[in-house]
């Protein structure tokens, strides 16, 4: 959210310009601009990893959820069909139905193919492997042999034929180009990916890899064309309906492709592979909390965002099976990535986690992930306004709980989840959490669940003024910060605000300015609007003063 955006700004400030791309902030939108194909595999891999397969299954099954129940009808059957679809789809894309290369689709890939001399390389490689008949046909086209020679080329020529080899040598360069062009006509996107990677152009290879992947529409096509699926499930109807399961799944996929353009086609959004910190703002993609349809959308988007940000965290877990199924060409590249990921502690942080509190299918996904996370050095954190608003799957397995305030119902709720803190401690924290402190810090209650029992401390967190300003999410302060950043940049803005307003807020100054106008407001909305106008006045004053000081 807004605080996270301020945190990103603060982190970037501490980095030199050439490293600021390591931190990324995305305001996710359900549009083609941010499109990421969730069916995409690791670079060079024809198949998803074990955990990627589980994620893809979760996403596809989520599209089939009945919003009135929160679960897919015939859940076991639909899950089985989806897993069969996944396995068959990736086999097809890796073999007889691989996506054919189309040069016009991506200019950068097309230019990289030309720059790397791939057609020349492939032409030279295939020169000794194509048939004598094909070589004879080419020499006939060049006018070196008569047409009747092509009819029985295998009998007339061989590699030991001196005249034949002289002709090949004479036209070698043209012949290599010709063979390269012929190779390109039937090349798949996987072929292009491999060739570019072998040539050392990892970025272009990654772009080409995107187009080798299946899309949501491909699953619909496979559903209707698979004789095996029809034989097994054609007579299985959706519970309480005359519609067969395969048609139901196909209809759900079609609806999802139309409803979620953000992941219904080839990847378009280019997330830097070197990014180490990524913040995804979900404000624009969460659905209405009051409807089943809205809750389903929220769950799908959170599942998708988690995959977008953290899909590589789990590569070390399935490294052995992943590398076994991978072309040796890519082994060194992925082994280096796996080694780096194995040595790092990774973090996933869910803010406003009450947004998916009631979404059943994502609770199951979180439970599975939580069990794996602890083994893989992944620390998962959740935050919400109230402890009781946390998803049940979180509170069941929590081992550290940090509370900023104590709500009236929290005492009973803590006991209900097995956390027993004495009333004396809770009373003291309840009082301290409302008190102002001389250093601007805030008290919080820290509860640690250990094998020896629960440990509880009342602690205090103190932040620097610049950090407070960076994380401030109040409407007026946020607007003031935004106006100054546009004029002065992030670094100078935080310095100016920290010097002028060491409490981390300009609210008191703005209230005094508002009172100084002498105006009386009929409604709260009028007062708020006037206050925001004064923010612009204050911002202009601060910008002018800073520029005068800089002269």
User: For every one of its 551 residues, what pLDDT tens digit does the chain have, with 9 covering 90 and above?
Assistant: 666 777 787 788 778 888 888 888 888 999 998 899 999 999 999 999 999 999 999 999 999 999 888 889 999 999 999 999 999 999 999 999 999 999 999 999 999 999 999 998 888 887 777 777 777 777 778 777 777 665 555 554 555 667 777 877 888 888 888 888 888 999 999 999 999 999 999 999 999 999 999 999 999 999 999 999 999 998 899 988 899 999 999 999 999 999 999 988 999 887 777 788 899 998 899 888 888 899 899 999 999 999 888 888 889 989 999 999 999 999 999 999 999 888 888 889 888 888 887 787 777 676 666 656 666 788 888 888 888 888 777 787 788 999 999 998 999 999 998 888 999 999 999 999 988 777 778 899 999 988 888 899 999 988 888 888 888 878 889 889 989 988 888 889 989 999 999 888 899 998 898 888 888 877 777 777 877 888 899 999 999 988 877 66
Query: Which pLDDT value is given to residue 362?
Result: 79
| pLDDT on residue 453 | 86
Q: Say if CB 390 and CB 353 are below 8 A apart.
A: yes
pLDDT of the residue at 166: 81
Coil vs helix vs strand at 244 = strand
Q: How far apart are CA 463 and CA 541, in angstroms?
A: 27
pLDDT of 258 reads: 94
Predicted local confidence at residue 491, as pLDDT = 83
Rounded to 10 deg, the angle between the 245-259 and 216-225 helix axes is 160
Name the β-bridge partners of 381.
349
456: its two tokens: 């509880």
Alpha helices (H) along 95-131:
107-115, 118-126
Q: CA triplet 157, 161, 167: central angle to 5 degrees?
A: 90
Measured from the Cβ of residue 268, the count of other Cβ atoms closer than 10 Å reads 15
Model-level pTM?
0.82
Residue 287 has a pLDDT of 87
Q: H or E segment at 277?
A: strand 277-281
Round to whole Å and give the CA distance between 454 and 425.
13
Q: For the CA atoms of 324, 328, 329, 332, what is the dihedral angle to 10 degrees?
A: 80
Considering only CA atoms, give the Rg of the chain. Answer: 31
Choose among 246, 258, 310, 299: nearest CA to 78.
246
Taking CA atoms, 136 is separated from 124, 178, 206, in Å, by: 17, 13, 38
Indicate the SS3 state at residue 234: coil
In contact, 446 and 459? CB cutoff 8 Å? yes
First to last CA, the chain: 37
Structure tokens at 340: 């780096």
Could you tell me the CA-to-CA distances from 378 to 282, 295, 299, 550 in Å, in that order?
21, 27, 21, 46
How far apart CA 527 and CA 203 sit, in angstroms, is: 53
pLDDT of residue 372: 62
Residues 6+ apart with CB under 8 A from 119: 113, 177, 180, 181, 183, 184
Residue 231 burial (C-beta neighbours within 10 Å; 0-12, 13-18, 19+): exposed
- Give me the pLDDT at residue 504, please: 87
Q: Helix (H, G, I), strand (E, B), or coil: what is residue 467?
A: helix
Phi–psi pair at 69, nearest 5 degrees: -115, -20
341 touches 311 (CB < 8 A): no
């Amino acid at each position: 959210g807004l605080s996270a955006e301020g945190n990103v700004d603060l982190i970037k400030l501490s980095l030199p310009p050439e490293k600021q791309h390591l931190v990324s902030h995305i305001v996710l939108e359900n549009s083609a601009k941010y499109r990421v194909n969730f069916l995409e595999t690791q670079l060079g891999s024809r198949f998803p990893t074990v955990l990627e397969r589980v994620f893809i299954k979760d996403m596809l099954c989520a599209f089939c959820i009945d919003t009135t129940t929160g679960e897919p009808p015939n859940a076991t059957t639909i899950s089985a069909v989806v897993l069969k679809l996944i396995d068959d789809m990736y086999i097809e894309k890796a073999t007889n139905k691989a996506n054919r290369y189309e040069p016009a689709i991506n200019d950068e890939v097309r230019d990289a193919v030309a720059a790397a001399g791939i057609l020349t390389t492939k032409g030279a490689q295939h020169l000794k492997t194509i048939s004598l008949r094909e070589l004879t046909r080419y020499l006939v086209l060049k006018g070196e042999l008569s047409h009747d020679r092509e009819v029985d080329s295998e009998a007339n020529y061989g590699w030991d034929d001196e005249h034949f080899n002289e002709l090949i040598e004479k036209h070698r360069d043209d012949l290599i180009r010709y063979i390269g062009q012929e190779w390109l006509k039937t090349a798949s996107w996987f072929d292009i990916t491999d060739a570019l990677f072998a040539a050392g152009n990892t970025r272009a290879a990654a772009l080409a890899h995107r187009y080798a992947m299946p899309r949501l529409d491909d699953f619909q096509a496979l559903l209707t064309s698979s004789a095996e699926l029809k034989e097994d499930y054609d007579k299985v109807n959706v519970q309480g309906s005359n519609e067969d399961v395969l048609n139901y799944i196909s209809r759900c996929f079609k609806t999802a492709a139309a409803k979620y353009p953000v992941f219904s086609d080839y990847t378009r959004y280019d997330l830097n592979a070197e990014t180490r910190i990524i913040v995804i703002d979900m404000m624009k993609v969460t659905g209405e909390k009051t409807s089943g349809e809205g809750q389903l959308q929220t769950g799908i988007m959170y599942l998708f965002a988690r995959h977008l940000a953290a899909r590589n965290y789990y590569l070390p877990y399935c490294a052995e099976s992943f590398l076994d199924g991978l072309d040796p060409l890519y082994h060194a590249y992925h082994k280096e990535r796996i080694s780096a990921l194995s040595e790092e502690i990774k973090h996933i942080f869910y803010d406003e986690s009450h947004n998916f509190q009631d979404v059943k299918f994502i609770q199951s996904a979180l439970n599975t992930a939580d069990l794996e996370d602890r083994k893989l050095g992944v620390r998962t954190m959740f935050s919400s306004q109230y402890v009781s608003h946390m998803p049940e799957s979180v509170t069941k397995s929590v081992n550290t709980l940090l509370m900023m305030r104590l709500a009236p119902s929290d005492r009973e709720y803590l006991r209900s989840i097995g956390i027993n803190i004495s009333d004396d401690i809770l009373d003291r924290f309840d009082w301290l959490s409302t008190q102002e402190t001389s250093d601007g810090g805030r008290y919080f209650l820290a509860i640690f669940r250990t094998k020896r029992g629960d440990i509880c401390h009342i602690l205090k967190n103190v932040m620097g003024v610049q950090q407070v300003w960076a994380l401030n999410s109040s409407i007026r302060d946020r607007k003031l910060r935004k106006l100054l950043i546009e004029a002065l940049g992030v670094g100078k803005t935080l310095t100016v605000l920290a010097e002028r307003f060491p409490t981390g807020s300009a609210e008191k100054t703005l209230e005094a300015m508002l009172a100084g106008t002498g105006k009386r407001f009929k409604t709260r909305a009028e007062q708020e609007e006037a206050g925001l106008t004064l923010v612009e006045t204050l911002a202009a004053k601060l910008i002018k003063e800073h520029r005068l000081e800089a002269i």
